[in-house]
Amino acid sequence: MNKKIALITGITGQDGAYLSQLLLEKNYTVYGLLPRRSTSEVNLNRLEWLGVDDKVHLIDGDLTDLSSLIRIMQKVQPDEVYNLGAQSFVKTSWDQPLLTGQVTGIGAVNVLEAIRLIKPDARYYQASTSEMYGLIQEPMQSEQTPFYPRSPYAAAKLYAHWMTVNYRESFDMFACSGILFNHESPLRGLEFVTRKVTDGVARIKLGMETELRLGNIDAKRDWGHARDYVKAMWLMLQQDTPDDFVIATGLTTTVRDMCKIAFDVVGLNMDDHLVIDPQFFRPAEVEILLGNPAKAKEVLGWEAETSLESMITEMVEVDLQRLTRG
Ligand code: NDP
Ligand code: GDP
């Protein structure tokens, strides 16, 4: 049997790295879209960390450039396309709302168009987000819960989400949206709160810093591990019919309690080091997210495997090692 071919946008990001590893284990040929940056030494740290940087094929292109996507689609002829590329940081989206709209919103439609024109039988995965629930309309959010986006990022993602549904219904494309709740790992960007905390706690433990400055620590998130969540992406594209799925743990925790777990890992008292800093508050907040993964369990047979405690412990330990090695 021929090897399946996958194309991943956002391959250099957290999920792109874990998904590449998963698909390579499943004997896929993996291509990744590589946007132009100011140096040819592209940021392959995450792929390197998982030992897959020399096993994936990278092709220059950008989500905002439809012609590059068409060219890549012609060259790669993918069986599956995973659209993970985005301006993905909520806080930045208030400062760069148009860029966020172009990359995170229109970018997804560019990928859908390239598929429709060149490889309409390719299966498409859209990286939708729990941020679309924003000001939550139900205590536990499922595929039926109405959306109420609370940031330019969430609004851009909601556009991409509905376009995915529309391409499925209008053009009979195999297009799925995974509504993923927050997922983290040692490969998470340092600007996101879990990694900021685990890196900060490791620095304090090593005597490199004395304090950790955070914003709204009462916010609650349903945090899972990226390694578990990329399995759900793949499973969605292996079904007989395309559909949308909430991917979550079904548990929610405050930033404060998540932070305490990290300080406990290194035996330090959180209250001696944590400082609340208004600069990290947002113009509008998503106070609480809690996902209902029942459909994913029933249809995909998917369940989160990693607890928040073990994930934060892993992240702190990896950050300690990184900082110790310099
Ligand atoms: P990251 O921020 O780690 O990765 C984003 C990726 O998008 C990077 O590879 C980045 O490349 C790439 N990218 C940015 N701009 C462009 C562009 N113009 N053209 C092509 N690629 C571009 O995100 P994650 O891996 O954490 O998340 C993957 C996807 O899932 C994202 O779409 C995110 O919004 C979504 N999501 C994530 C959740 C999470 O908790 N992690 C929750 C729900 C949804 P470069 O590094 O070169 O900038
Ligand atoms: P998000 O859910 O995609 O916005 O993921 P983040 O990890 O960026 O933020 C999760 C929650 O942590 C949000 O409610 C933030 O307001 C809150 N938070 C509190 N302090 C901080 C901080 O210093 N940095 C970040 N990124 N988030 C913080």
- Please give the span between the terminal C-alpha atoms of the chain, in angstroms, as a whole number: 45
Q: Which of 9, 18, 82, 131 is catalytic?
A: 131
Question: Ligand 2 — pocket residues by CB below 6 A?
Answer: 90, 131, 182, 191-193, 196, 214-217, 219, 221, 255, 280, 282, 285-286
User: Which ligand has the minimum distance to the alpha carbon of residue 43?
Assistant: 1
* Amino acid 326: pLDDT: 75
Q: CATH 3.90.25.10 in the chain, residues?
A: 189-221+252-289+306-325
101 Cβ contact list (under 8 Å, min separation 6): 152, 155, 156, 159
Predicted pLDDT at 5: 98
Is 153 catalytic? The answer is yes
Ligand 1 pocket, mutate which of 33, 84, 93 (most atoms under 8 A from CB): 84
Per-residue model confidence (pLDDT) at position 2: 84
The boundaries of every CATH 3.40.50.720 domain in the chain are 5-183+225-247
Q: Considering the domain 189-221+252-289+306-325, what is its CATH architecture?
A: Alpha-Beta Complex (3.90)
Cα separation, 297 vs 277, whole angstroms: 39
- Nearest atom in ligand 2 to 281's CA: 16
- Which regions in the chain score pLDDT beneath 50? none
Q: pLDDT digits over 259-288, tens only?
A: 999 999 999 999 999 999 999 999 999 999
Distance of CA 311 to the CA centre of its chain: 16
**CB neighbour list of residue 234: distance below 8 Å, 6 or more residues apart:** 19, 22, 23, 26
Q: How far apart (Å, rounded) are the C-alpha atoms in residues 217 and 145?
A: 25
Concerning whether 306 is annotated as a catalytic residue, the answer is: no
Q: What are the residues facing 33 on neighbouring strands?
A: 59
Q: For position 41, what pLDDT does the model report?
A: 61
- The structure's pTM equals 0.98
Q: Which fold has domain 5-183+225-247?
A: Rossmann fold (3.40.50)
Helix or strand holding residue 1 (H, E) = none
- 131 flagged as catalytic: yes
Closest CA to 302 of 224, 229, 226: 229
Reported as a single tens digit per residue, the pLDDT across 106-160 is 999 999 999 999 999 999 999 999 999 999 999 999 999 999 999 999 999 999 9
102 close to ligand 1 (CB < 6 Angstrom): no
Q: Which of 9, 12, 29, 129 is catalytic?
A: 129
